[in-house]
Chain A
């Protein structure tokens, strides 16, 4: 089966900081892959490379068997039409209302009438458990958990076949986190989409992932099914999932300076 995404020996540096140092990963159609790793290990950079927001320095990056690392702006725009993204801080547009945020791609990229787009936006808001009452509010008027739901509704508004989730539960309380995890699982299943989630929340990773990969020092150091992660013998993974302060994972040098 051709992987939906295939990454081979992917490198990305910012000046002297080598963030990705040879990432190898395959994500298959219909699969929900979760990438875990500590803060600053390059998870977000990897996601942005896949979205074409950042250009990787070298290596191969394929989607549906097509190399996308050097695609043009127009090709990237076309590819992104089938991708929905949930950003870490929700990234809702302050100047638009909740429903306009959800309907953004329908109105501005698919040129649907505002009336029809609003109908779909209200359906999607209902799908993530939000009532019509919030549709005309601005994002600043709703809570962080509700904003994350609106962002999820925006990501699935055009029924994309690929979904990216960037730290979907970051900053949310446990109950809201569980709600978001359930919604993500439900949306991915309903759309039959390929999902890629990056997180350092293990509860979320176990809840939404079919497979989990761990990124450390710019490389995937372990990849396996979600059920295997607790029994794997990789000391890095064990330290990370249990949150041990001591172990093979090095803390950032600036933290060591503080100590």
Chain B
């Protein structure tokens, strides 16, 4: 019993210590990032990496999710003759939930891992020490541009994912299930509210922040050569994915209370 309590206590203390380290890391990155000079080229490069280069994977995920959603909804709703709400289900599910969460998870796998691997390799090959000796603050040069790009690009990606997902649902509903195209589109736009989209975009900004923070934090603190970089990459993807799911519930709960 004592051992069990000791283990629980150790895990809790480790959790608190990790939280403290991440908070300190974030504070240093933000306090350095808001002061000039600003690294425009680095920021644009991250915007390109996160925003543009993630489009195919996010687009494909959204397309097939929208298509599956239409099929599955039809299967369920046809049992009580409510097929006409499929357009509503697709648009609501994509904008409020599936768009931001799936885009977040896909970008976490693609970008979070790449950030941790790149920064981790820079750490173990002394490139981060070299930055410091070249009078350049590594947190300002490496971390701040990634945080900025994460927060700004994820909402844009989610906006694209929402559109493609709804389009996927439209394709299946019209060409596979025989819905009238005009009626399907009318139902989609009549039912959709601005808040459905904005709540998804708010979530996306948080998810982008989490992905960039976890990727940078684990990469920046990686140790011990290739194995250390591998571990950092795994930790970055796992921790950001879990945090995305937890944050998603908390934000949904918060936004739900506000209507």
Q: A residues touching B (Cβ–Cβ < 8 Å)?
A: 48, 51-53, 73, 77, 80-81, 83-85, 87-89, 91-95, 104-105, 108-109, 111, 154
List B residues 148-188 near A (Cβ within 8 Å): none
Interface membership of chain B positions 37-48, coded 1 if the CB is closer than 8 angstroms to chain A and 0 otherwise: 101000001000
Asked whether A85 and B141 contact (CB < 8 A) given A91-B125, A93-B127, A108-B39, the answer is no
CB-defined contacts of B129 to chain A, threshold 8 Å: 48, 51, 53, 87, 91
Instruction: Check if B126 sits within 8 Å of A109, measured CB to CB.
Output: no
CB-defined contacts of A87 to chain B, threshold 8 Å: 126, 129-130
CB-defined contacts of B126 to chain A, threshold 8 Å: 87-89, 91
Report the interface size for chain B: residues with CB under 8 A from the other chain: 17
Instruction: Check if B132 sits within 8 Å of A109, measured CB to CB.
Output: no
**Counting chain A CB atoms within 10 Å of each CB, which of B45, B121, B126, B136 scores highest?**
B126
A85 to chain B, nearest CB (A): 4
Choose one: A51, A84, A94, A108; the contact of B141 (CB below 8 Å): A108
Q: How far is the CA of A51 from the CA of B126 in the complex (A)?
A: 13
Return the chain A residue nearest B127 by Cβ.
Answer: A91
CB-defined contacts of B132 to chain A, threshold 8 Å: 51-53, 77, 80
Q: How far is the CA of A84 from the CA of B24 in the complex (A)?
A: 29
Q: How far is the CA of A87 from the CA of B133 in the complex (A)?
A: 10
Q: How far is the CA of A85 from the CA of B136 in the complex (A)?
A: 14
Instruction: Check if B136 sits within 8 Å of A108, measured CB to CB.
Output: yes
A170 to chain B, nearest CB (A): 12
Q: How far is the CA of A108 from the CA of B134 in the complex (A)?
A: 9
Q: How far is the CA of A83 from the CA of B133 in the complex (A)?
A: 7
CB-defined contacts of A105 to chain B, threshold 8 Å: 134-136
Return the chain A residue nearest B130 by Cβ.
Answer: A91
Q: Does B137 contact A (CB under 8 A)?
A: yes
Q: How far is the CA of A51 from the CA of B128 in the complex (A)?
A: 13
